[in-house]
A = this chain, B = another copy of it.
């Protein structure tokens, strides 16, 4: 149980009347500025992107996943090959999730007890066993800069009694992870759970804060619950986490979410959204998602979004990308992913700059006024709030 000598977090600016903050993470592989969007490289690669693309689009910390890497190619293999940084040729920071979420969402015939969890591989049905100690050893072999405790993720919806029981286990496992973590220099983050129950969330934040981790994640959100509930959970959680430690909301990353969760005290997020949307032909713009397959782009000799500084927008027309996607050319997935990931990396930086400049509130309102979320319920809700804020609430039915 050793704190990293190299890991650190410094808050650089805060916003009165908001929990938003700008900060700086230090890791053995260089700094990350917060708010931070982290692209996801589940299997040691961000889908369709090379490390050259990630570097060009300004990614700093990339996520990978212990569950997936453990199954293929194996944590031992990665260790034998010099660790994950060398394996995937990424010399900037890396974070591995513990695999808790995947054990609970992907694997079959899962059996959980206080000691750990038995599960079957989603690939070949083979049987495996994870304990907090095992997951620490695996993540130490893999060698990311930031690693996560093993937690029990509850589905949404699930009742309070079950969530209470799962939380008890999550807390015990967090303490065991803390204990088992060796002197590797890796920063171990705790994960707050508690479903959609404010009391459990508060209990979890308080308990884990007492254990004094170098960073805190919030897990079990964005799993199907209404956005308002997610926001409410953040509002009761982040104030109880140490102000001097980074706060990471797991699996969240739509453009509108980014503003909302930063407003509620989150410093780091990760999400597969930009790369998944890219492969489905949905491109992120400041006006909302753009369906690249639409025939209206067939002759559009302009970038996806004028003013976007990504490599795709600096080099290719919407017409060409439309053609590539329509003809299923693999290059389409790369170009779309570069644009979408850059969009979120850049948006996180824009949020950061607004915090540093003290204009976060106005910047958030301006972004949300023109950004059209794809979820119609969210879009309606957002538009209503905007109209109210602008004294036009009466127009909303």
Contact = CB atoms under 8 A, between A and B. Distances in A.
Contacts of A323: 43-44, 72-73, 87
A82 B301 contact: yes
A384 to B, nearest CB: 40
A319 interface: yes
Given A87-B320, A323-B72, A330 B48 contact: yes
Interface in A231-250: none
A322 B88 CA distance: 12
Contacts of A73: 298, 319, 322-323, 326
A331 B50 contact: yes
A329 interface: yes
Contact of A320 (B88, B326, B335): B88
A176 interface: no
Interface in A309-342: 315-317, 319-320, 322-324, 326-327, 329-331, 333-335
B333 A330 contact: yes
A326 B301 CA distance: 37
A43 to B, nearest CB: 5
Given A44-B320, A316-B89, A81 B301 contact: yes
A315 B89 contact: yes
A323 B323 CA distance: 30
A134 interface: no
B45 A331 contact: yes
A82 B299 CA distance: 10
Contacts of A327: 43, 68, 72
Given A72-B323, A330-B334, A299 B81 contact: yes
A45 B329 contact: yes
Interface in A32-89: 43-45, 47-51, 68, 72-73, 77, 80-82, 87-89
Interface footprint category on A? 35 or more
B334 A80 contact: no
B72 A326 contact: yes
A277 B228 CA distance: 50
B299 A49 contact: no
B87 A48 contact: no
A330 to B, nearest CB: 4
A43 B329 contact: yes
A312 B219 CA distance: 37
A18 B87 CA distance: 47
A177 to B, nearest CB: 27
Contacts of A322: 73
A335 to B, nearest CB: 7
Nearest to A312: B50
Contacts of A315: 51, 89
Contacts of A334: 50, 330, 334
Contact of A80 (B50, B299, B320): B299
Given A48-B331, A81-B320, A88-B320, 9 more contacts: A44-B323, A45-B329, A49-B331, A72-B323, A73-B298, A77-B319, A81-B299, A87-B317, A330-B333
Interface of A: 43-45, 47-51, 68, 72-73, 77, 80-82, 87-89, 298-299, 301, 315-317, 319-320, 322-324, 326-327, 329-331, 333-335
15 contacts: A43-B329, A44-B324, A45-B329, A45-B331, A47-B329, A48-B330, A68-B327, A72-B327, A73-B323, A73-B326, A81-B299, A87-B317, A88-B320, A330-B330, A330-B333
